[in-house]
Chain A
Amino acid sequence: MKEQDIRGLIGRVKRGDMSRRDFVRRMVAAGLTAPVAGTMLAHNGVAFAQSAFDYTPTKAGGGGTVKLLQWQPASQLNPHFAVGSADQHAIYLFYEPLASWDEDGNLSPILAEELPSLENGGVAEDGTSVTWKLKRGVTWHDGTPFTADDCVFTAQFASDPETLAYTMGTYRDVEVEKIDDHTIRLNFRVPTPFWPDAFVGTRGLILPKHLYQDYPGAQATTAPMNLRPVGTGPFVIENFVPGDLISAKANPNYHVANRPYFDAIEMKGGGDAVSAARAVLQTGEYDFAWNLSVEDEILDSMTAGGRGEVRLIAGANIEHLQLNFTDPWTDVDGERSSITTEHPCFRDKAVREALALLVDRAAIAEFIYGRSGEATANFINTPDRFASKNTSWEFDIEKANQILDAAGWERGRGGIREKDGVKLSLVFQSPTAGQRQKTQTVVKQACEEAGIAMELKAVAPGIFFSADPGNPDTFAHFYCDIQMYTSPMREPDPGLFMQQFLSSEIAAKANNWQLRNVTRWRNDEFDELAAAAAVEMDPVKRAAMFIEMNDLVVGEVVVIPLIYRKVAAGMRTGLKAPLSTWTSYLWRVSDWHYDA
């Protein structure tokens, strides 16, 4: 999809020929995010839509305790240390940003009085500053008023390299200027096209200055508020057992009238997706469970009793295979998958292409993921794919065999192909989850038919996704040939998402594997595009660049996208909850209620 195609679509939205929602869907299908799509519309004069949600309770309280199951539990509650999504979700009970994204990529004010825009002068034409007006009369849980100082402090806190906040990138190049107690201006060091990043969504949660100022820099990790947060949110912490339980009661001074409806909230961790689904859908012990990656048949059998229902929320979660561009089996200075090495098989593009042909996405989508998955060649730039879902990828063992034959990979002993003494024998890892191991099995079988031997490995998710530099089984170490997981594209700006392919972001021992390029793919063209996109002010041109970057990644078979996944949430019948995949699902937990 080229720039003019996008412009054409925006024109149709403006004329009313196309719904805003359809536009957002098409952009998401092209590999962008709903927030970016919404920002493009806003830039072209189509304002963010009001989040439509019917809040019926006429007073705060009276709802009793609502019980949530988030089977991947939170381990700490400082939003700027929340590397994992489990923490990022839970923290929304207590902290709030200035604005956040709804399900359709609309920006919705929370601690802001109103959204900045070109029209009201909040957003500078040249992209160098944004002015936010803060809501008045908001207090922290301890009664201290919320002011512009807190915003200024949060930016300082996150951008301090000593703090080691994962949000550092968001605040590093922003200068936050206090205009008055309830107005701040963000001055960007370079023109910033995507301004709703600092103080917005998951990375934008604001910390109380009066408490955190005593814990600057490296001391921040010892702050007691990391376990007993004091925020502005709808709930006040009562008890937190890391990795297990969060209980909180309603904030009596919450800044939105008549909210929250529930008197208390309890969030329980542990177990797995299936047991969580059962607890909500079948037995009704819990009101809500997030991320039920469970087979269709099982969900159907659980919802048969009518106690609960499954809601699917669209996002840009792509289950995909990543190929390692370095050699995971050679040790260089105490580090495998070292950037000084080259993968013995994958350096031949033919092998990567053959692999992409050996993934039966249709069968995986239909039989393993069911209603929550859709086969995708997402990231692929063919306008045709909007008409047909099957044009841009194929599953063809025959063709894979031909490609490998042509490239000189001969079948050797046991039918395994080899070339120059290198055997096509690969190790394929993924975090433990029923659907993933089945997908692995399906891929393995097709590969074996094409003469590629494959060993499967399942890693406990707690280990796989951990940031522990000492553990060789994490996705960032990537000490095997192929790995598969879902990248939650929760960061609304694809610029951040695309960082995972930048040459400058290569995860290695030297940076404790904290950087994001785990495939260790390096490509100058991509780097240049990314640099250009970072300063391109026209959101449409920028979107076209992102799509071009996506094409590179897929065309070079750095990743093999499999399934475009929706997130399944289990809800007790009658629970009304606005959800979102662009930020925490709890982004408006204040509005959750049961209809009277």
Chain B
Amino acid sequence: MSVGPAAEPAAPTTWQRFRQHRMALVGTVVLGLLLTVVLLGPLIWSVPIDTIDFRARLALPSAAHPLGTDDLGQDLLARLLYGGRVSLAVGLCAMLVAVVIGTLIGAIAGMSRGPLDAFLMWVTDLFLALPTLPLLLLIIYLFRDALTGLVGPEVGVFVLIIAVVGGLRWMPVARLVRAQFLTIREREFVEAARALGASRLRQVVQHILPNALGPVIVVGTISVAEAIIAESTLSFLGLGFPPDTPTWGRILFDAKDFLSIAPHWALFPGLAIFLTVLSINFIGDGLRDALDPRKVR
């Protein structure tokens, strides 16, 4: 994990500090493994995700089905690999959306004094006060058909979910960025740049933003985990992707009733979500320590 463009030669020390956080290292390795498996796995394990085989329903893990099968006899490994792409993609894209919107709004608010700043913070507070889940349901209900018609069911829902999940998680980022901006823009090196005649944009892009980025990355990692969980919540409610798209959340939803009969069915997707979220959280933890400015100095 390399950490953005820190201005000073602190970069190696940041990595060293990150390395000292053992759980963060483990998290990085686990997440890297998960990503590799999900990206490359379907090339090696080429069993189709939707072949129905009633003779092998609820089969325990075996050579033919390393993670067993569900109650239609569909191979769980293949489904988990496919679903992992969706779940991880949802998580990462939603994080990007949240970070981009949050940084933009936070930066504008932090740089402008007066009414614009106040207004943007009102908007932020307003969004913070919105109850996420009902809003998600409403938006999916309102826009699913329109979007599905435009780009097809899976892509449509994908766009919708990342837009909504990301669109409801930018507020902490915005507040954080604004706070950073308010302090950093008064620092001597920014004043120096200003004195040398740097434009506002240049001040922001060259000087303030790089120094404000540390906390943003931390919040970003955490929101990846939140987005994956939000997607599984939607699948769990029977919304989100079409019912035959095996996202991790959907597999878990289908498996929950069979918990006492076929625990393996719920165990593996549950484990995958658990490992992803945990490792991302550890990485976030490690990054927070590594990027803490008080430790840098």
Interface positions of A (Cβ within 8 A of B): 274, 294-295, 297-298, 301, 329, 363, 366-367, 432, 434, 437-438, 440-442, 444-445, 455-458, 460, 472-473, 479
Given the known A-B contacts A432-B238, A455-B242, A456-B243, are A441 and B257 also in contact in the complex, defined by CB atoms under 8 Å?
no
Q: What mask results when residues 107 to 124 of chain B are scored 1 for a CB within 8 Å of chain A, else 0?
A: 000000000000000000
Q: Indicate if the CB atoms of B243 and A295 lie closer than 8 Å.
A: no
* Nearest-neighbor residue (CB-CB) of B58 within chain A: A297
Q: Indicate if the CB atoms of A456 and B244 lie closer than 8 Å.
A: yes
Query: What are the residues of chain B within 8 A of A442 when measuring CB–CB?
Result: 52, 72
Consensus secondary structure, chain B interface:
loop
- Complex: how many Å from CA A47 to CA B153? 57
Q: Identify B54's interface contact among A367, A472, A473, A479, CB under 8 A.
A: A367
Given the known A-B contacts A363-B54, A445-B52, A472-B145, are A297 and B258 also in contact in the complex, defined by CB atoms under 8 Å?
yes
Complex A-B: 11 CB contacts under 8 Å: A297-B71, A297-B261, A329-B149, A366-B54, A367-B57, A367-B71, A441-B52, A445-B52, A455-B153, A457-B153, A472-B145
Task: Select the residue from B50, B58, B239, B242 with max chain A CB neighbours within 10 A.
Answer: B242
* Nearest-neighbor residue (CB-CB) of B148 within chain A: A455
User: Is B260 part of the contact surface with A, judged by Cβ < 8 Å?
Assistant: yes
> How distant is A307 from chain B, measured CB to nearest CB, in Å?
15
Q: Identify A460's interface contact among B72, B238, B244, B257, CB under 8 A.
A: B238
User: Is B254 part of the contact surface with A, judged by Cβ < 8 Å?
Assistant: yes
* Nearest-neighbor residue (CB-CB) of A438 within chain B: B72
Interface positions of B (Cβ within 8 A of A): 50-52, 54, 57-58, 71-72, 141, 145, 149, 153, 237-239, 242-244, 254, 257-258, 260-261
Q: Indicate if the CB atoms of A456 and B242 lie closer than 8 Å.
A: yes
* Nearest-neighbor residue (CB-CB) of B238 within chain A: A432
Q: Indicate if the CB atoms of A434 and B52 lie closer than 8 Å.
A: no
Q: Indicate if the CB atoms of B242 and A298 lie closer than 8 Å.
A: no
- Complex: how many Å from CA A445 to CA B153? 17
Query: What are the residues of chain A within 8 A of B261 when measuring CB–CB?
Result: 297-298, 301
Q: Indicate if the CB atoms of B243 and A274 lie closer than 8 Å.
A: no
Q: Indicate if the CB atoms of A458 and B54 lie closer than 8 Å.
A: no
* Nearest-neighbor residue (CB-CB) of B256 within chain A: A274
- Complex: how many Å from CA A367 to CA B72? 8
Q: Indicate if the CB atoms of B257 and A444 lie closer than 8 Å.
A: no
* Nearest-neighbor residue (CB-CB) of A298 within chain B: B257
> How distant is B126 from chain A, measured CB to nearest CB, in Å?
27
- Complex: how many Å from CA A473 to CA B51? 29
Query: What are the residues of chain A within 8 A of B52 when measuring CB–CB?
Result: 441-442, 445
Q: Indicate if the CB atoms of B71 and A458 lie closer than 8 Å.
A: no
Query: What are the residues of chain A within 8 A of B57 when measuring CB–CB?
Result: 367
- Complex: how many Å from CA A432 to CA B237? 9
- Complex: how many Å from CA A479 to CA B239? 18
* Nearest-neighbor residue (CB-CB) of A454 within chain B: B244
- Complex: how many Å from CA A542 to CA B55? 45
- Complex: how many Å from CA A455 to CA B72? 18
- Complex: how many Å from CA A434 to CA B238? 10
- Complex: how many Å from CA A479 to CA B145? 10
- Complex: how many Å from CA A203 to CA B153? 41
* Nearest-neighbor residue (CB-CB) of B50 within chain A: A445
Given the known A-B contacts A437-B243, A472-B145, are A458 and B238 also in contact in the complex, defined by CB atoms under 8 Å?
yes
- Complex: how many Å from CA A456 to CA B52? 16
- Complex: how many Å from CA A444 to CA B245? 12
Q: Indicate if the CB atoms of B257 and A434 lie closer than 8 Å.
A: yes
Q: Indicate if the CB atoms of A294 and B145 lie closer than 8 Å.
A: no
Given the known A-B contacts A367-B54, A432-B238, A445-B50, are A440 and B243 also in contact in the complex, defined by CB atoms under 8 Å?
yes
- Complex: how many Å from CA A308 to CA B141? 39
- Complex: how many Å from CA A366 to CA B72? 12
- Complex: how many Å from CA A444 to CA B261? 26
- Complex: how many Å from CA A434 to CA B239? 13
Task: Select the residue from B50, B52, B153 with max chain A CB neighbours within 10 A.
Answer: B52
Task: Select the residue from A294, A329, A367, A440 with max chain B CB neighbours within 10 A.
Answer: A367
Q: Indicate if the CB atoms of B257 and A295 lie closer than 8 Å.
A: yes
* Nearest-neighbor residue (CB-CB) of B260 within chain A: A301
Query: What are the residues of chain B within 8 A of A434 when measuring CB–CB?
Result: 254, 257
Q: A297-B261, A298-B261 are in contact. List 6 more A-B contacts (CB 8 A).
A: A298-B257, A367-B54, A367-B72, A438-B72, A444-B244, A460-B239
Query: What are the residues of chain A within 8 A of B243 when measuring CB–CB?
Result: 432, 437, 440-441, 456-458
Q: Indicate if the CB atoms of B242 and A457 lie closer than 8 Å.
A: yes
- Complex: how many Å from CA A473 to CA B144? 11
Query: What are the residues of chain A within 8 A of B254 when measuring CB–CB?
Result: 434, 437
Query: What are the residues of chain A within 8 A of B145 when measuring CB–CB?
Result: 472, 479
* Nearest-neighbor residue (CB-CB) of A282 within chain B: B260
Query: What are the residues of chain A within 8 A of B257 when measuring CB–CB?
Result: 274, 294-295, 298, 434
> How distant is B74 from chain A, measured CB to nearest CB, in Å?
8
* Nearest-neighbor residue (CB-CB) of A366 within chain B: B54
- Complex: how many Å from CA A585 to CA B58? 34
Task: Select the residue from A329, A363, A442, A445 with max chain B CB neighbours within 10 A.
Answer: A445
Q: Indicate if the CB atoms of A441 and B258 lie closer than 8 Å.
A: no
Query: What are the residues of chain A within 8 A of B72 when measuring CB–CB?
Result: 367, 438, 441-442
* Nearest-neighbor residue (CB-CB) of A440 within chain B: B243
Q: Indicate if the CB atoms of B71 and A438 lie closer than 8 Å.
A: yes
Query: What are the residues of chain B within 8 A of A455 when measuring CB–CB?
Result: 153, 242
> How distant is B147 from chain A, measured CB to nearest CB, in Å?
13
* Nearest-neighbor residue (CB-CB) of B240 within chain A: A458
Q: Indicate if the CB atoms of B242 and A295 lie closer than 8 Å.
A: no
> How distant is A436 from chain B, measured CB to nearest CB, in Å?
9
Query: What are the residues of chain A within 8 A of B237 when measuring CB–CB?
Result: 460
> How distant is A321 from chain B, measured CB to nearest CB, in Å?
16
4 nearest CB pairs, A to B = A432-B238, A437-B243, A458-B243, A274-B257
Query: What are the residues of chain A within 8 A of B244 when measuring CB–CB?
Result: 437, 440-441, 444, 456
- Complex: how many Å from CA A444 to CA B48? 14
> How distant is A81 from chain B, measured CB to nearest CB, in Å?
26
- Complex: how many Å from CA A440 to CA B72? 11
* Nearest-neighbor residue (CB-CB) of B141 within chain A: A473
> How distant is A465 from chain B, measured CB to nearest CB, in Å?
15
- Complex: how many Å from CA A438 to CA B58? 14
> How distant is A267 from chain B, measured CB to nearest CB, in Å?
23
Query: What are the residues of chain B within 8 A of A437 when measuring CB–CB?
Result: 243-244, 254
* Nearest-neighbor residue (CB-CB) of B70 within chain A: A438
> How distant is B165 from chain A, measured CB to nearest CB, in Å?
20
* Nearest-neighbor residue (CB-CB) of A448 within chain B: B50
- Complex: how many Å from CA A297 to CA B58? 10
> How distant is A415 from chain B, measured CB to nearest CB, in Å?
14
Query: What are the residues of chain B within 8 A of A363 when measuring CB–CB?
Result: 54
- Complex: how many Å from CA A445 to CA B244? 10
Query: What are the residues of chain A within 8 A of B153 when measuring CB–CB?
Result: 455, 457
> How distant is B247 from chain A, measured CB to nearest CB, in Å?
14
> How distant is A303 from chain B, measured CB to nearest CB, in Å?
12
- Complex: how many Å from CA A457 to CA B241? 9
Query: What are the residues of chain A within 8 A of B242 when measuring CB–CB?
Result: 455-458
* Nearest-neighbor residue (CB-CB) of B149 within chain A: A329
* Nearest-neighbor residue (CB-CB) of A437 within chain B: B243
